[in-house]
Structures are given as structure tokens and as C-alpha cells.
Amino acid sequence: MDFLSLTSQIALSLLFLATILIIYSYFSSTKKVTTPPEPPGAWPLIGHLHLLDGLSPVARTLGAMADRHGPVFSLRLGSHRGLVVSSWEAIKECLTANDRVFATRPSIAVAKYLGYGGASFGLAPYGPYWRDVRKMVTVDLLTARHLDDFSHVRTAEVDGFVKDLHSMCGGGNGGESKMVVALSGRIELLTFNIILRMLVGKRFSFSKGDDDKNWRFQEAIKKVLYLGGVFVFSDAIPSLEWLDIGGYIKSMKQTFKQVDNVLEDWVQERIQTRKQKDAQTDSDFMDVMLSTIDKNEMMAGYTRETVIKATILMLIMTGSESTSETIIWAISLLLNNPHTMKTAQDEIDNNIGRDRFVQESDINNLTYLQAIFKETLRLYPPGPLSGPREALEDCHIGGYHVPRGTRLVLNLWKLHRDPNIWFNPDEFRPERFLNEKSQMNFKGQYFEFIPFSSGRRMCPGMTFGLQVIHLTLARLLQSFDFSMPNGETVDMGEGLGIALPKLKPLDVVLTPRLPKKLYQSI
């Protein structure tokens, strides 16, 4: 009898616990999911797309929305849901605890039509192919050691750049004078030639000249950069791709054909050259890739040649424009803050003098110059919205539920102008990186300041950009005094594009400030 009583008590206890678990499970499953706030005014079919009018940079538009709806909010982007994040705490949550969740790229037109069908590693979805190519880029191409091997390329190109500018000031005709120079175009060509020489051992001239094919390639690359920053309607509503609203897909196909024809010629030319010379040494990045990838190897269905072309194009796109735009923004900021420019020039004069040119080995001693670089990146990050990411699974950001497939937008432009982090955030003040923010670097550990992003999708070309920008900026400030024609201030209007370009080209008055014999020595 006692045994039966004990058994009954145990059974009743188990039944009670089971009932509690069922009730808990029911209420948990019916509990309302907390979703991020959403701006009002979404339209049928297109959602909030009409709020992104294209008249101002998207980063500014989304920043204004964050002021109204908070640092984590959602948007309906056609048939897709987007999550816009701009606080350092939420961005850190995205790129640390949820870094793998947001490691992939969405399927978009630029990847399909300009990125070799997803072969460009910067646009490729997360997976074995992306890991293999990114490893090749970061380990075999863009390491500090490999970049140091090309220091002579950077030095030679910057030497020629400074010499050409000096010649425009009359330096080659027996005298020197002030000269108005269209600086933007020349800086763009400088960074383009540096990355091109490192990639394929080629360089282009400033004018169209005799090599019409090279000139057309330069123009096609500019078109690629423009098309990479436009909004393609079918990215939001894929079923309407056949309409090609705006004609961007047609333009992408035409531009891609122009670029691919040149890249294909370069790859085949190099393959034949290596056969004839039985090349055992690698002279540039293309050689490294030809040595690294086996001749008959297929990577995720892509041939060796396709992988090489896609990688070269991606490195040109990311390494050329963003670098040149940062230099242009830095000079523009300095022109509007002449006292800051004078301080930087004094630092160079005191550390290097005026009897030799500044070299890469001098940069570590130019702390104020480095602070100018950081402050420029803060105000004008190379990728103001980082790159688009897509959630591989459900997760939570800032306490909000984020469903799988959500497209993540990190507004780095807004992050870098957050008044809770930065005192007078819209003010150009390099001194902040020598004082209260002196510990901050841009290598991805300080989530208040991540101009090159962070995590798995962090920009692999950071060191390259740092080297080129530091040397170019130092040489320009050492070699010339800058002023604006008619004494006006620089128009700081922002254009539309991937790298937040300056709206109006920068034309400046240059005056040589070093002994003439020094310019003539290069």
C-alpha cells in the first residue's frame, strides 16, 4: 500500500511539472516579439524606398532618420527588410557576437553584373570560396611584408606626382610661380597608378594620348565606380529586374564588357610571358595569383582566370577611389583650416627639414599628420555605410528580434558624428586624436571609430590605404603651400557614390616651398 501511495505521489508530481512546462511553453510561444522601430509612411510594394530620394547622400538621410527613431531601426526596402544601426554598442553587437550571422552579402546587381557573378571576394556570399579568396588576398597579397616590397612603386609614383605639379608651377622653365591646378583628377590618377602597378605592373598617363585603349579602360573604371554606388530598383524588388528601371543593368553589362576585355588581355599576356621566361619570381600581384592558383583549378565553379580578373577589379575599385577621396577630403579640410595646415607643415619642417623629401620611414614621427588622417577618416569614412550584409539566421540586436534574411546597414558616417562620443562632432579638430581620443586606432577594436569596418568583412586594404595617404599627404604639405583661387573657402558638398566623393572637383593654387634643386633631383 505504501509503495502504491509513493508511486501515485511521484506520478502526480510529474504531471504537475509537465503542466507547468506546457503552460510556460505556450506563453513563451505567444509572447510578442520585440521588433525595431520603423519610420511611418511605408508604401505598398516599395516600402520606404521613396524616403531615400537620392538628392543627398544616403548616409545623411539615414542619419536624420536615426535622430527621430533611434540608433537601431528597420526599413522596408521593397520585398526585403533592412536594419539600420548607428550606435557603437549595437554595431559592436553586430560585428562581434553576431559577426558570423552577418558575414554574408545579399544578392545584388553589382555583384552579378560587375562582380563576375559573385566571384569578386568583396561581394561574394559567405562560404568556402569567399574564405579561400580572402585568405589569398590578406595572406599572399596585402600583408605588411608584401606591401613593403612595393614601397619603391609608391615612392616613384609620388615622386613623379610632385615633380609634375612643380613643373606646372613653372619649375621646369627656369622660374617658379603660383599656379591653379585641378588637383582632384591628378590625385585620382596617382592612386590609380599605384594600385595598378602593384597589381599588374602597368601605369597610365594623365591625358588620352596615343594609347586610346588604356584611356577607355580608365573611363570604364570610373563608370564601374559610379555604377557600384547607384540604387538598382531590382535589388529591392527582384521580380521587376526585367524592367531595368533607370537602365543601370544595361549600363553595367556594357561597362563590364569593356573592363573584362582589357583584364582578359592582361591575364593572357602575363600567362604567355611567364611561359616564355619560365618565370620563377613574382613581380606583382598578378604573378602571385598565377603562382597561387593551380592552372586547372576550379574555385566554386570559377576558372583561375575569372578569379584573378574579379580580384584585380575589386582591388582597383576599393583601393583606388577610396584612397584618392580621402586625400582630397584631407586637403579640402586643411584649406578651410589654414592654422591646422600650418601646424602640419611646421611638424614636417621640424622633423625632416627642407633639404630632403619626407619618406615612408618618417611617418611614425609625424604624429600630427597621423591625427589629421584619423580626423579625415572620422568625418569622411571611405565606406560611409560599410558594405551590405544579410542575416544568415535569426538574432537579436539592441534587444530587438532580427529575422533571417534582414539586410544590415551600418551607418559609420552617423557613428563618427555621434555627439555622445565626439565633442563638437562636425568640427574638424585633429587634436582630439592627440588628447582625449589618443588611444583610438582604426583597426577594428574601438567600435566608436571603425572607418574600415570590423570583423570578418573588415576592409583588407587598410594598410595599403594608410601607406599611400600618409606619404602623399606628407609630400604635398612639405612641397607646396596651398590656397584657393580668389581666396574663397572650399565647397564641402558631398556627392553620391560608394566612397562619399566630394561633389565639386578641388582646384587649388600651389606655391612651391622647397629649394628648386630638390624638385629637380627626382
Helices 462-479 and 183-200, packing angle to 10 deg: 140
Q: Classify each residue of 315-341 as buried b or exposed e, where b means 16 or more C-beta atoms within 10 Å of its C-beta.
A: bbbbbbbbbbbbbbbbbbbbbebeebb
- 267-272's contacts with Cβ under 8 Å and 24+ in sequence apart are 267/305, 267/308, 267/309, 268/305, 270/200
Angle value at C-alpha 262, between 257 and 263, nearest 5 degrees: 95
What is d(CA 208, CA 127) in angstroms, rounded to the nearest whole number? Answer: 42
What is d(CA 230, CA 504) in angstroms, rounded to the nearest whole number? Answer: 18
Q: Is 459 annotated to bind ligand?
A: yes
Q: Closest by alpha carbon to 287, among 118, 140, 157?
A: 140
Residues 6+ apart with CB under 8 A from 62: 84, 86, 385, 409, 411, 414
Beta strands at 407-410 and 80-85: parallel, antiparallel or unpaired? parallel
Contact 503, 493 (CB under 8 A): yes
Instruction: Give the dihedral of Cα atoms 189, 192, 194, 196; nearest 10 deg.
Output: -130
Tell me the backbone φ, ψ of residue 386, rounded to 5 degrees.
Answer: 50, -165
Residue positions forming the annotated binding site for heme: 459
Residue positions forming the annotated binding site: 459
